[in-house]
Every structure is written in structure tokens, then in C-alpha cells.
Amino acid sequence: MTMTPNEYRSVSTEVIKKQQAFFQSGAGRELAFRMQQLRQLERAIDKCENELLRALELDLGKCRQEAYMTEVGLLRAELAYIMKHLPVWVQARKVRTPCLYPGARSLIYPEPLGQVLIISPWNYPVYLALAPLLGAMAAGNCTVIKPSELAPHSSAVLQALIQDSFPEEYIAVLEGGAEMSSELLEQPFDHIFFTGGSAVGKLVMQAAARRLTPVTLELGGKSPCLVDQDINIEYTARRIIWGKFLNAGQTCVAPDYLLLQREIKEPLLKKMGEVLLKFYGANPRHSPDYARIISAGHFQRLEALLADGRILYGGEAVREERYIAPTIMDRIASDSPLLQEEIFGPLLPVLEFGDLEEAIQFVNERPKPLALYFFSRNRKRQEQVLKQSSSGGVCINDTLSHISSPYLPFGGVGESGMGSYHGQASFELFSHKKSVLQQSLSFDIPLKYPPYRIPLQALKKLLRILQA
């Protein structure tokens, strides 16, 4: 049932008021409570696993193995890591105190921010809704999740999972379209976490600015994949094909275009064609392991791009099934949307370069990407790419894998986003580092009080010593 703007406003306002009261009560700040709620979420995920996997199949055509590997399984691993380390993370950390303050000690206390809003996307609708939630819960916050309406089955299962497991004054899922998002962005949250496209990300940031609300923006962009001739062709082809066509290319860190060294272009493309056949068969339309495009609108946008280059592999599109074959293309015009906009689908444009400096320059002339991939055995060239380019993250001799490590913060830079999470970074993202200096009352030093009798030069010398 569609709600009116007033109804959206009423629902969001009521939930926020309940969460503010719950947070102010202090009930959620204790470590024991946080651990209990994280275990409750773990049990809920286990209980609803089949429903989650089925929802992902209905929304995106994901097979159960891919859905588990990239969403449910990844989420469970992250959850286990956070629960293992949270008792250490919540402790106050002692730091050095300058000699200027004898008898004092300095501490950094992590404290929760308050109410968190998570606006999640449709491409990984389970993982990208619940992974930020883990950090918000671990840090002791209350949370509202607004899932994407483009993945309605996943959204419904998430809503039921949260509603059955937690009171809405602690965690709530509010479904709806852009109207619900707009109303939520008018509410007084203490942090907003948004995953999606840069156009909507700008609107989120504008709304947050009105209340000076801090934001985390996980956006995207055109993540390049550079390949020089010093590679293992078989492994390189497998890893590129897997990373690009997982979830039918609807991954924010999927390789968006290939930059191949001229000498390796033909043999690598031939091997990639062989890998496509091995992965998805002669007709990927009938492969149980290949996903579908999320909506008719996205299908139409991607289908139009098929005319923008020479198709080397793939190119088939079936509107009724929202199916677009895994497609590799070259001879792309420089002004084509394939090279100007994030593709977010199973189309892989191929460009070539002569030397590595040329490829790096091509990347640097464009907005900073969320991910950069480089395939080469040569350590000096690896270091050259790392030093001479900027991106949210880098994966060398593989694709996507860097985002699954809880030890590596994940986030963008420049137009690809701001802020990072995963593992301890998630806990820190949703925590305020409160600085505390605890002074002794056993003695006092009158030097700092007026009237000042110490000569200025002597004071400068003394402060240089004491502030070391």
C-alpha cells in the first residue's frame, strides 16, 4: 500500500523519537548488550538463510552459491570477526601525556554516536544493508535501515528479519521508495551511511548538510583494470571474467574497463573468450550461475550501450528476461557513455596501451575510482601503479577480493565516496573518539596561573621542554 507524504513523515518521526529515547536511556551502551544483540542477529540470519537466498534469486537471478558467497556468507564472516574483537575495541585506550601536565593521564574513549541511518542499494541488497549495521550495533547505536525498493523480495525479508528480532526503538527497517528516503533525510540522525550512485549521493550530502550530519558515501565510478604483458594468462583471464560478470556486472567495484598492454591484448582476449565458455557455457542465458539485470529501466540503458562498439563476445539481450549476455567490446569511441559513465552491467570495454605510463595517465585524467586492478608479475611496475595513481582500494593480480577482508578498510576517495568500513573500521566509523585528560588533585603547579612572573624567554624554553 502506497503511503502519502504525511504518512511517511509520521512513521519516520515516530521511529526516530522512540530510538532517541532508547539511546538516551543508556541501555544499549553496555558491551554485554551489544554482544547479545550481535548474537541475536547471527541467529536471525541463520534462521532466515533460505528466505534470504530465495529473495536474492527472485530479485537478481542469483544462484544460491553466488548469493551465499557474496552476501550471506560474507556477512557471517564479518559478524564473527566483529564479535571476536569487540571486547578489545570498546576499551578506553591510554595514550601519552605531555610532561606539561604532571600527574595526569590521557585516554581515548570510543562512544556511540546515537541514531544511524543506513540507505542501502539493490545490487547486493542483503550484504550492503546489514554489513554497515554490524558496525552501528558494535559501536552501540540505534539504527534505521532504508532498503532499496528495486529489490522488493530482499527488502521484505530484511524487514521481517529485523522486526522479528529487535524492537524498533533499537533497529527498524522502513520500506518505501524515494519518498521514504526523502522523509528520513529530514530527520535528526547522528550519522548517515549511503551506498549507491554519485547523483543520489550528492542529494544525501546536501540533505545532511542542513543539519551538519556526518555522512559516509560508498559510491562507485569507473574502476579500471590494467594488464601488462608479464602475467599468467590463464589466471588473469579467470579473475577478470569472474570479477566483471559476477552478479551480471552489477557490482560497484567490478572492473569497468580493461586497459591491456598492446602485446598481450589478442592472446588475453582469446583466453577470456575460452573462460567465458567454461564459466557460463555456449549460451549463458541458460546458465544457472549467471544473474539478471535488476529492472527494465536498467536493462534498457545497458541494451542501448551494445551499439557503442564492436562486440567480441556476447551481445545477446532478451528484454522479457532482463538478460544481457556477458559481453566484451572494443573499438569504443572516446565520447561513448561506455567510457564516460559507470556501466554497472555485464559490458566490458577494452582499450590498449603501449607503456604503463600511458595507462596510468589515462586513469589519472578521470575521477578517482573506487577500485583499481593491476595484473603484472613485475614488482617495480606494481609499485609504480600504487605510487602514481589514486583510488579507494587496489587489488593486484586479482579482482574484488580486497573488499572481503575485515582487516582492510573499504571505501572511496574523491568522487567514489568518503569514509570507510569493514572490520574495526566499521566500529570506528560509528564511534566518536572522545578525548579525556584526567588530572590529579594531589598537588597543583601555580606556574600557569596569573599573575605571571616568569620572563617570556624562560617560559618559551620551559614549554619547549615540557611539551615534548
Catalytic residue positions?
A: 218, 252
- Quick check: 37 and 166 in contact, CB under 8 A? yes
Q: Which three cell numbers stand for residue 83?
A: 564479535
291 vs 245: CA distance, rounded Å: 9
174 vs 180: CA distance, rounded Å: 8
Cβ-in-10-Å burial (0-12, 13-18, 19+) of 344 comes to: buried
Work out the angle between the directed axes of helices 5-25 and 178-185 (0-180°, nearest 10).
Answer: 50
Q: What is the radius of gyration, based on Cα positions, of the chain?
A: 26
Beta strand 371-375 pairing with 393-396: parallel
Strand ranges across the sheet with 93-95: 93-95, 105-112, 431-438
Beta strand 224-227 pairing with 257-261: parallel
CA-based torsion, 145, 43, 112, 17: positive or negative? positive
Beta strand 215-218 pairing with 191-195: parallel
- Quick check: 351 and 257 in contact, CB under 8 A? yes
Q: How many helices (H) and strands (E) does the chain have?
A: 17, 20
> Could you tell me which residues come within 8 angstroms of residue 233 by beta carbon, excluding any fewer than 6 positions away?
264, 267, 268, 271
Q: How far is CA 452 from CA 43, 445, 448, in A?
A: 64, 13, 8
391 vs 144: CA distance, rounded Å: 30
Name the phi and psi angles at 418, rounded to 5. -150, 145
DSSP secondary structure string for all residues of 338-378: HHHS---SSEEEEEEESSHHHHHHHHHTSPPPSEEEEE-S-
Q: Which three cell numbers stand for residue 144?
A: 534505521
CA-based torsion, 9, 12, 14, 16: positive or negative? negative
- Quick check: 244 and 399 in contact, CB under 8 A? yes
404 vs 409: CA distance, rounded Å: 10
